[in-house]
Amino acid sequence: MAVGVQALLGFQLLSILTPALYERLDQTLRLVHLSGIVLVVVAMFLLLAPAAYHRLAESAVMTAEFIDSAASLVGWALAALRLGLVLEIYTAARALGLAHAPSAGIAGGLFLASWALWSVWPRVSVLRLAPNPKSD
């Protein structure tokens, strides 16, 4: 996953170096784009942190605390990635000439889809797979 985020970051940075695209963005959209880049960088840091920590601090053991911490960091990374991607989609839609409302609709729809797939579905699955206590 971290490699995919790094590739995404490369494309985001490349887009600001493309004058034809960058000149289409007003100052507000440039700030939205920068915010998206920053959030993707934060996601990348959060995704890479457990591996770096484990390699340097606990390379000989796999503790429950480490697993809990790593899972928490991945959850926060997904939240940052979700918001960064949504901001980038909004920026791209506006750069392609769509008005605010359709651009926000597309971005909002993708936000809801990612939230459902990355947050709701796993939690519902855990509840569904949990053992049911038998009633007498």
The Cα 31–Cα 43 span in angstroms is 18
Name the average pLDDT for the chain.
86
pLDDT band at 16 (very low <50, low <70, confident <90, very high): low
Q: Is pLDDT above 70 for 74?
A: yes
Number of H helices, E strands in the chain: 6, 0
Residue 106's pLDDT is 96
Higher pLDDT, 95 or 106: 106
pLDDT band at 17 (very low <50, low <70, confident <90, very high): low
Q: Is pLDDT above 90 for 46?
A: yes
Q: Which helix (H) or strand (E) holds 24?
A: none
Claim: this prediction has a pTM higher than 0.75: yes
Q: Is pLDDT above 90 for 28?
A: yes
Q: Is pLDDT above 90 for 76?
A: yes
The Cα 89–Cα 97 span in angstroms is 13
